Amino acid sequence: MEPAEPPVPPSALPKPAPKPPAPKAEAKAPPAPPGPPDQAPPDDLARPDYLAPLEQACPGGVSQVSYWVGDWTLIVPRDRLVEVATWLRDTPESRFDFCSDLTAVDWPPRAERFDLVYCLYSVPHRRRVRLKVRLKDGEAAPSVTGIWPAANWFEREVFDMFGIRFDGHPDLRRILMPDDWQGHPQRKDYPLEGPGELLLEDPLEWLKLRNAAREAEFE
Amino acid sequence: MIETLVVPLVKIAVLLVGILTAVAYLVLLERKVQAWVQVRLGPMRVGPHGLLQPVADVIKLIIKEDITPARADRWVYTLAPIIVLVPALVVFAVIPFGPETNVFGIRMPLHVADINVGLLYIVSIASLGIYGTILGGWASNSKYPLLASLRASAQLVSYEVAVTMTLVSMILMAGSLSMVEIVESQQARGLWFVFAQPLAFFIYFVGGLAETNRAPFDLPEAEQELTGGFHTEYSGIRFALFFLAEYANMIVIAAVATTLFFGGWLRPFPSVAALGLLDIVPGWIWFLLKTFVLLYVFLWVRATLPRYRYDQLMRLGWKVLIPLAIANVIVTAIAVVVL
Amino acid sequence: MTDPHPVTATRTPVQFDTDELVINMGPQHPSTHGVLRLILRLDGERVVDADVVIGYLHRGIEKLSESRDWTQIVLLTDRMDYVAAATNNLGYCETVEKLMGLEVPRRAQYIRTVLAELQRLASHLVWLGTHAMDIGAVTVFLYCLRERELVLDLFEEYCGARLTYNSRRVGGLPADLPVGWDRKVREFCDIVDQKIVDYEQLLTQNRIWLERTRDIGVISGADAIAMGFCGPPLRASGVMRDVRKDEPYAAYEEFAFDIPVGAAGDTYDRYLVRLEEFKQSTRIIRQALDGMPEGPVMGKVPRLIKPPAGETYHAIESPKGEIGFFIASDGKSLSPYRFRVRPPSFCNLQVLPKLVRGHLVADVVALIGTIDIVLGEVDR
Amino acid sequence: MTIAFYTLAAFILALGVLVVSTKNTVHAVLFLVANFLCVAMLYVLLQAEFLAVIQVLVYAGGIVVLYLFVVMLVNLKRGPETHVDPRRRDRMGLLIGGAVLAEFVAILLYGFAPRATGAAPAAAAPGVGNVEQVGWSLYVDYLVPFEVASILLLVAMIGAIVLAKKEP
Amino acid sequence: MTPITPAHYLVLSAALFSIGLIGVLVRRNLIVIFMSIELMLNAVNINLVAFSQQWQHVVGQVFALFVVAVAAAEAAIGLGIILAFYRNKETVNVDEITLMRW
């Protein structure tokens, strides 16, 4: 879909209760979060040249920088995402004009259980960077379809698979699963067996329903 | 009695059986030719080299279930294939397959009827087949067939203009509308008209491809776009009738082209006496041979070319072929008057 | 408003009248290459708008992978782009190798490159055949499949399978080349180079082909990048972007080859770019066979493949475009914590509504053909 | 000859009635084609072969196809005749039609009855329907009307295009 | 049976003409009305040809040809009007066509 299409007014989307942005220190603070380690880059490694101007242009836009097997990852607070992304796309020294991938990872026990991962690529500079946004369950992320139209279907897929909403997405529908599907299969707590039509958000609910159906069968 | 009643009836019977057999084997030929072009073998299982394949096909089509879609217009739906087929067969009545010949001791012309408006008769009857196409698509109560039938009829109507124009220039050449007289005029001039009117033949042939919905103009039946065309919903014997009509129309186009442009039953170079040896071969064999070659070209074209798009097809018809055909008529008329 | 799909609810209802017709193309349609479904809004024969409906082939490969161990996933990747299974295997294995920091022997890298390029030839042959058939040239289809058979024979000789190869292992390859295989590959390259001339004779200068493909589905380079086009379609729009050159993997760094780039960004350019890629692929294969190093084909790999905790994204150039794998490992379990594929067909298909707008129904078919999708990969 | 005439006449009238009375417009068009074909056969009976062929070619093959197109394009959601103007008088229409018919028949009977048998022309007078004769008459005696007719058709063609074209 | 005279043709043509007339007067579907007009034109043509045969003069046929040409023109224009009308008003019912402009 083109960005030109009139976006759904944000008021049309059910908004979660407004929450203050996550404090910076929280990233490493909770004890032993089952999440990616997000290793800090080694001190002797040269940092990419766009990082310093970025931090200057958007102070507080990058809450953490991580480096692992050659990939740079910037962890960005949810409410700064659009700002940082626009800067990264438009500034000549970064020019991350190609949104290579957009996906999410579910780390359930963590308070901010979802990692939204944006894999960006710069065609002129031939290099990559990843942005990461942490979200609580039910929290909506800002849509980047206005920055990279390519993100349209990716965001739909994330919505379909994880149930993460995107504010400002022009056409947020399920994409791979049927329109009337219940639940979001890529969540870690999604039940792995049972009839798909009956699967509800709550597995216990589903168990109750199934037992009721079995009892009905015996009678 | 024999002359007026039995002979024509026998002729009609022979003609009908001949055409239906020819159609069946034309389908086989098409599959074989395409297969050879495409480094395949084609049908090989039924009979030696698949020679009995048409029989199997016919049996299959007849015993298949004949489905009428829900909420289709039952009457029109049933009528449409018949409307398509009848004109395709009736046209053969005026095509002269050969000169007057002795058949079992009776001297008779090898055509069912020679009417003085023969060529116009062919054009007008052929233009009736379009009803079957439109109504078949409409009565199926389905979107794809409807779209395809609209395409088909638009295509037919526009190319008919160009084809009829080329026929006009042939009428000017021959000075007659009768099919027999057109052939005789070629004999008198000692010249196949294709050499006098190559442009007319080209337009006629392209228009003929388009009118019979053959590649590269097979849009109404483009299975890649419309899943089969106006007869998508048809099955069994009614589908077979559509199929029959399409191939019969191909034969009509080829036979008329043979009569008009390739001297009908005349041998090659009818004016060159040195080739008199060729006269041993009877006229009707020459006729069938030429028709066969033209049909082969039809198949060959299909195996080679991609498909035109609808608007390109229309542009070709209206902006290229029709002006060319009209110019050809004017030039021919001037030439006929001056010469 | 509690409707889970706000957009479907707020959409204006479609009007039916003489001018606009809504037709449904697929999921059962001969030229949607599988189970793609398009909802087209037509004005006469002109497409006003199109909506792409996918998911009919969704098998949950990403979710499935979270309960398979690391070696078993190679097998699942076969089932994504089943026309180019070997490329998928390669992308996955390289991603895991990157996570674990494994070294792959040079011979294995060379063989991987040869296999990937053979796979590119096979995939492009299927593309050329089906694309030509969509435009009505049935003969080209059969010619192309004839040549593809030869590739399949080569793969069969190498790994025993013709379609789903499972032909890579994390850290190397399951087997060395069979004796005499390289000679057969060379012969095949010669055949393909000849046959390309045949195809070009049938299509490249054919007036009908030109009219059907020129100026159809034009997309500018900037738009193509923004919309996430990748692979040959992106290059046809004039963008020099090929993962093989930009972020070399396997052994591509060591070979000389050109990246064909189009100018107009239309269907014809996409055709020309892919046709040129045939020639470049045979060129790479010949170089790889000439310089094939000796040595083992399997590197030093721990018995139990268990990458340390961390996540990475790695992309390679599949015949369809950039296929990327994002894999997160928690360092504890025997299967990936999150396995995500960036399917090139999916991203390219996203552009389809933009491409078809304003064109005719017949062009929709040509455009589905030109972006070269495999639904197994789109839906996963 | 006689049998053929009566059969054709019966068909023509029956099909005419069907055209006028059928509810389904597509069926009406079909009956109209059949009607025109029967009229063409009548022309053959009257030794006007050329006109018969033209009738089939232009009427059946051209004009009625146009009708069919329009009928299919005008795919109505509700029945085309649901709304009735309260001022409409259908009976009157029938009555007027019947009256006109009666009038015609009366005139004919009055005018022809006395000489009906005597005026029968020689049936065998070949050549009236000859294409050549029609051509001579058309292009020599009636050249100006012919050209006017062609201008009329041209104007009609342009007018139809203008009317049917969508406003951009 | 009596031989067929022009009178027979005239009666036939008169009957056909009246059928067409009734159609024009009674039907409300604009397309059917047009078809009824075609019927009337055909009735006239039958007349012309019958007289042409009676007087052994080709002029009747020539006139019939002109009638055909006029019918073609009328069909093209009339159907164009119907289509244009249908686009604007979504109806082909003459009873609903009560305004000269809208």
Residues of C in Cβ contact (< 8 Å) with D73: 18
E86 reaches C (C-beta below 8 A)? yes
* DSSP class per residue in C176-225: PPPTTHHHHHHHHHHHHHHHHHHHHHHHTT-HHHHHHHTTSS---HHHHH
Residue of A nearest to C61 (CA): A186
- In chain D, domain spans: 1-74, 132-168
d(CA D9, CA C248): 86
pLDDT band with cut points at 50, 70 and 90 for residue E101: low
Alpha helices in C228-342 (DSSP H): 232-236, 243-246, 267-290
pLDDT band with cut points at 50, 70 and 90 for residue D116: very low
Long-range Cβ contact pairs of B290-297 (< 8 A, separation 24 or more)? B290/B258, B290/B262, B291/B251, B291/B254, B291/B255, B291/B258, B292/B254, B294/B205, B294/B253, B294/B254, B294/B257, B294/B258, B294/B262, B295/B26, B295/B29, B295/B250, B295/B251, B295/B254, B296/B29, B296/B33, B297/B205
Kindly tell me if the per-residue pLDDT of A177 is higher than 50. Answer: yes
Residue of D nearest to E54 (CA): D121
User: Which residues neighbour C359 within 8 Å (Cβ) at sequence distance 6 or greater?
Assistant: C46, C47, C216, C217, C367
pLDDT band with cut points at 50, 70 and 90 for residue A219: low
Beta strands at A127-135 and A71-76: parallel, antiparallel or unpaired = parallel
Q: Are B163 and B211 in contact (CB under 8 A)?
A: yes
Which of the pair, D145 or B279, is modelled with greater confidence? D145
Measure in Å the smallest separation between the Cα of C23 and chain A Cα atoms: 19
Kindly tell me if the per-residue pLDDT of E98 is higher than 80. Answer: no
Q: For C318-349, how does the pLDDT look when each residue is reduced to its tens digit (9 = 90+)?
A: 888 889 899 988 877 788 888 899 888 888 88
- For B177, the closest of D54, D60, D131 (CB atoms) is D131
Segment among A148-152, C6-10, C45-49, D104-108 with least mean pLDDT:
C6-10
Report the sign of the C-alpha dihedral through residues C286, C288, C291, C293, in that order.
negative
Residues of E in Cβ contact (< 8 Å) with D77: 90
Kindly tell me if the per-residue pLDDT of B269 is higher than 80. Answer: no
Would you tell me how many other CB atoms lie within 10 Å of the CB of residue C198?
A: 12
Kindly tell me if the per-residue pLDDT of A9 is higher than 50. Answer: no
Interface contact flag, C19 E87, Cβ < 8 Å: yes
Which of the pair, A179 or C113, is modelled with greater confidence? C113
Kindly tell me if the per-residue pLDDT of D111 is higher than 70. Answer: no
Kindly tell me if the per-residue pLDDT of C56 is higher than 70. Answer: yes
Q: Which residues of B153-177 are buried (b: 16+ CB within 10 A; e: fewer)?
A: bbbbbbbbebbbbbbbbbbbbbebb
CATH of the domain at E13: 1.10.287.3510
In this prediction, residues C207-232 reach a mean pLDDT of: 86
Q: Return the percentage of chain B with pLDDT > 90, whole number.
A: 3
Average pLDDT, chain E: 82
The structural domain count of chain E equals 1
Residue of A nearest to C345 (CA): A153
Determine whether D151 is exposed, middle or buried from the number of CB atoms within 10 Å of its CB (0-12, 13-18, 19+): exposed
In this prediction, residues B57-66 reach a mean pLDDT of: 86
Q: For D1-36, how does the pLDDT look when each residue is reduced to its tens digit (9 = 90+)?
A: 788 888 888 999 899 999 888 888 888 888 999 999
Sole residue written with tokens 């009569």: B259
Average pLDDT, chain B: 83
Q: Are C99 and C329 in contact (CB under 8 A)?
A: yes
Q: For D44-69, how does the pLDDT look when each residue is reduced to its tens digit (9 = 90+)?
A: 888 888 888 888 888 888 888 888 88
Q: Are A84 and A63 in contact (CB under 8 A)?
A: no
User: Which residues neighbour A212 within 8 Å (Cβ) at sequence distance 6 or greater?
Assistant: none
* Partners of chain C (3+ Cβ pairs below 8 A): A, B, D, E
Measure in Å the smallest separation between the Cα of A213 and chain C Cα atoms: 27
Residue of D nearest to B129 (CA): D61
Q: What pLDDT sits at residue C253?
A: 84
Q: For C190-212, how does the pLDDT look when each residue is reduced to its tens digit (9 = 90+)?
A: 998 888 888 888 888 888 888 88
Would you tell me how many other CB atoms lie within 10 Å of the CB of residue C293?
A: 12
Q: What pLDDT sits at residue B220?
A: 66
ipTM: 0.72
Q: Are C175 and C166 in contact (CB under 8 A)?
A: no
- In chain B, domain spans: 67-338
The architecture that CATH gives domain A36-200 is 2-Layer Sandwich (3.30)
* DSSP class per residue in chain A: --TTSPPPPGGGSPPPPP-PPPPGGGGT-SSS-SS---PPPPTTSPPPTTHHHHHHHSTTS-SEEEEETTEEEEEE-GGGHHHHHHHHHHSTTT---EEEEEEEEE-TTSSS-EEEEEEEEETTTTEEEEEEEEE-TTPPEEP-TTT-TTHHHHHHHHHHHH---EET-TT---SSS-TT--S-TTSTTS-SSS-GGG--SSHHHHHHHHHHHHHHHH-
d(CA C62, CA B159): 54
Sole residue written with tokens 């050209």: D147
User: Which neighbouring-strand residues pair with A64?
Assistant: A75
Long-range Cβ contact pairs of D85-88 (< 8 A, separation 24 or more)? D85/E95, D85/E98, D88/E28, D88/E95
Global pTM reads: 0.78
Average pLDDT, chain D: 78
* Partners of chain A (3+ Cβ pairs below 8 A): C
Q: Are C347 and A148 in contact (CB under 8 A)?
A: no
Measure in Å the smallest separation between the Cα of C43 and chain E Cα atoms: 14
d(CA C58, CA C62): 10
d(CA D112, CA D57): 34
Kindly tell me if the per-residue pLDDT of C84 is higher than 50. Answer: yes
Q: For B35-52, how does the pLDDT look when each residue is reduced to its tens digit (9 = 90+)?
A: 888 888 888 888 888 888
d(CA B41, CA A168): 58
Average pLDDT, chain A: 75
Would you tell me how many other CB atoms lie within 10 Å of the CB of residue C100?
A: 20
Q: What pLDDT sits at residue A16?
A: 43
Kindly tell me if the per-residue pLDDT of A218 is higher than 70. Answer: no
Measure in Å the smallest separation between the Cα of B84 and chain C Cα atoms: 25
C-alpha triplet D148, B156, E82: angle, nearest 5°:
60
Kindly tell me if the per-residue pLDDT of B101 is higher than 50. Answer: yes
Interface contact flag, C23 B311, Cβ < 8 Å: no
Determine whether D100 is exposed, middle or buried from the number of CB atoms within 10 Å of its CB (0-12, 13-18, 19+): middle
Q: What pLDDT sits at residue E85?
A: 78
Q: What pLDDT sits at residue D151?
A: 92
Domains in chain C, start-ordered, CATH in brackets?
21-379 (1.10.645.10)
Which of the pair, D18 or A20, is modelled with greater confidence? D18
Q: Report in angstroms the alpha-carbon separations of D10 from A163, C88, D14.
A: 74, 76, 6
Q: Report in angstroms the alpha-carbon separations of D160 from B316, C18, C114.
A: 22, 17, 64
Q: Residue B252 corresponds to which tokens in the numbers above? A: 């009509």
D166 reaches C (C-beta below 8 A)? yes
Does chain B touch chain E (at least 3 C-beta pairs within 8 Å)? no
Q: For B152-204, how does the pLDDT look when each residue is reduced to its tens digit (9 = 90+)?
A: 778 888 888 888 889 888 888 888 888 888 888 888 887 888 888 888 888 99
Residues of B in Cβ contact (< 8 Å) with C144: none
Residue E58: phi and psi, rounded to 5, are -80, -10
Q: Which of B83, B119, B121, B124 to mutate to test the interface with D (most CBs of D within 10 A)?
A: B124
Tell me, yes or no, whether E1 lies in a domain.
no
d(CA B206, CA D145): 35
Question: Which residue type is seen at C53?
Answer: V
d(CA E12, CA E25): 20
> Cis (ω within 30 of 0) for the bond into B268?
no
d(CA D4, CA A169): 75
Which of the pair, D72 or B245, is modelled with greater confidence? B245
Q: Print the domain residue range for E59.
A: 6-100
Q: Look at domain D1-74 and name its CATH class.
A: mainly alpha
Q: Which residues of A82-112 are buried (b: 16+ CB within 10 A; e: fewer)?
A: bbbbebbbeeeebbbbbbbbbbbbbbeeeeb
Q: What pLDDT sits at residue C246?
A: 85
Interface contact flag, B306 C135, Cβ < 8 Å: yes
Directed axis angle between helix B236-261 and helix B7-37, to 10°?
Answer: 100
Kindly tell me if the per-residue pLDDT of A98 is higher than 60. Answer: yes
Average pLDDT, chain C: 83
Of residues B222, B298, B226, the one with CA closest to residue B37: B298
Q: What pLDDT sits at residue A29?
A: 39
pLDDT band with cut points at 50, 70 and 90 for residue C372: confident
Residues of E in Cβ contact (< 8 Å) with D71: 31
Question: How many beta-carbon contacts under 8 Å exist across D and E?
Answer: 253
d(CA C223, CA C219): 6
d(CA B270, CA B187): 7
Q: Report in angstroms the alpha-carbon separations of E72 from C42, D155, E65, E67.
A: 31, 12, 11, 9
- For D51, the closest of E5, E17, E65 (CB atoms) is E65
Residue of E nearest to C16 (CA): E90
Segment among A7-21, C179-193, D64-78, E36-50 with least mean pLDDT:
A7-21
d(CA A188, CA C333): 14
